[in-house]
Each structure stands twice: as C-alpha cells, then as structure tokens.
Chain A
Amino acid sequence: MAALSFTEKIKILEKLRDRELAIAAAGLRRKPAKESGNVKGSQK
C-alpha cells in the first residue's frame, strides 16, 4: 500500500473521506428513529 503513487493514495483518501461523511450523515438521519424507540433489535 505504501508503494502506491501519491496520486493513487489520494484517490483512496477521497474514497475513505466520502465513506466517513456518508456514515456520519446516515447516523444523523437514523437518530430520530432511535430516539422514538423504533429501532428495537436493529443494533448489534
């Protein structure tokens, strides 16, 4: 992995960043359902 070019590594960084942001956004969207008690059995 460390032998990749910087450009290739940056592409991976961008995918990691987009995934983190998507996870964060999904977490924010799920929050109201969780607060309403409508997520029984959905958490592992």
Chain B
Amino acid sequence: MKATLEAINQMQADGVIGKYAIGGAVGATFYLAPAATVDVDVFVAFPAAGSSLLSLAPIYEYLKARGATELDEYLVVGDWPVQFLPLADSLDEEAVEQSVSVIVEGISTRVMTAEHLIAIALRTGRSKDHSRILQFIEQRAVDRSRLQAIIERHGLASKWNEFERRYLGGTRE
C-alpha cells in the first residue's frame, strides 16, 4: 500500500488530480475489522479546468508512465489494483471535502468519514454495500445523527427507509 499511496500523493503534488479520498472496503477498514477486498477505491477531484468533461486519461497516462499497468477496470499501482472514481455528485464532493487525514505505513492519505462511506454504500445499493452498512451499525462505528443529516441532505431518505425496513426491522431510534 505504501508504494500505491506514494504514487497517488505524487500525482496530486504534480497537479494531475486535486483532493482525493479512499472509499469502499479499504476506507471502511479504517473504522471496521478488515474484510477481504481486492481493490482500492479512490475518489478524485480534478483541478479546476476550462472543460466540464471529466476524463481519467490524465491519471492513466501519468501512472502508466511510472510503471502502473491496466487490469480490467483497475490500474495496478504498486501492489494494489486501484479504481479511480471521478466525483459523480454532491455527495461524492462532500465526502472528499470532509475526509479525514490518516497515516498508513508512514504515508499521509485521506479516508472518507464513516457516515459518508455508509451514504455512498446506500446510494450504490448492492448486497455487499448493504452488508457493509450493517457492519458499521453492528460495530457501532457510526454517528447516527450525522448520518441522518447526510442522508437527508443528499436525497437518500427513501433508500434509507427501505434499508431500515429490510434489514433493521423498520424500527427507528
């Protein structure tokens, strides 16, 4: 992971990407017991540019010139397959903006808050995302009032209500 994060930090320092934050299963591992995953999800903001078109091409060009290789939808950077995800909406933007600074193997990086990880998992809505949300709840790794505010702010209330109905017995605290 050290080489992966060093490469991403250098890419940020070189102005290819703006702020970034780790999400997905690796981000969740900051708060939870580790669960198997084969890739790292990195949400990236791009430096302000004239075009509204977002392309991952500059990231691929930069990292491939430094030894990264393509593998399906991933770019293998160091020893981790990385999926770079442009910020899709205001939830992604807020998640990156409010991410927390952490140190991994002596390297500084950023991880989304538990509540933003949950909100993004709720938005994505696959079985494994719902399973991760349950882990956060079961391991008491979430601030429920902060989560509720994010859910309402980003229009996820109906999805949350459905999640509660399916997995939490429809009870509200």
Q: Do A and B come from one complex?
A: yes
Residues of A within 8 A of B (CB): 1-2, 6-7, 9-10, 12-14, 16-17, 19-21
| Complex contact A13–B139 (CB within 8 A) | no
- Which A-B residue pairs are the 8 nearest by beta carbons? A1-B33, A16-B36, A12-B34, A13-B34, A9-B29, A9-B34, A10-B1, A6-B30
Give chain B's interface secondary structure class: loop
Measured between C-beta atoms, what is the minimum distance from A18 to chain B in Å?
9
Q: Which of B88-119 contact A (CB under 8 A)?
A: 102-105, 111
| Complex contact A6–B141 (CB within 8 A) | no
A10-B105 contact, Cβ under 8 Å, with A2-B139, A17-B38, A20-B38: yes
Complex Cα distance A12/B1, Å? 12
Measured between C-beta atoms, what is the minimum distance from B103 to chain A in Å?
7
A2-B103 contact, Cβ under 8 Å, with A9-B29, A13-B34, A13-B37: no
Which of A1, A20, A21 touches B34 (beta carbons < 8 Å)?
Answer: A1
- 5 contacting pairs across A/B (C-beta < 8 A): A1-B34, A6-B30, A6-B111, A10-B104, A13-B26
Contacts of B141 in A (CB 8 A): 2
Complex Cα distance A1/B102, Å? 18
Contacts of A13 in B (CB 8 A): 26, 29, 34, 36-37
Contacts of B102 in A (CB 8 A): 6
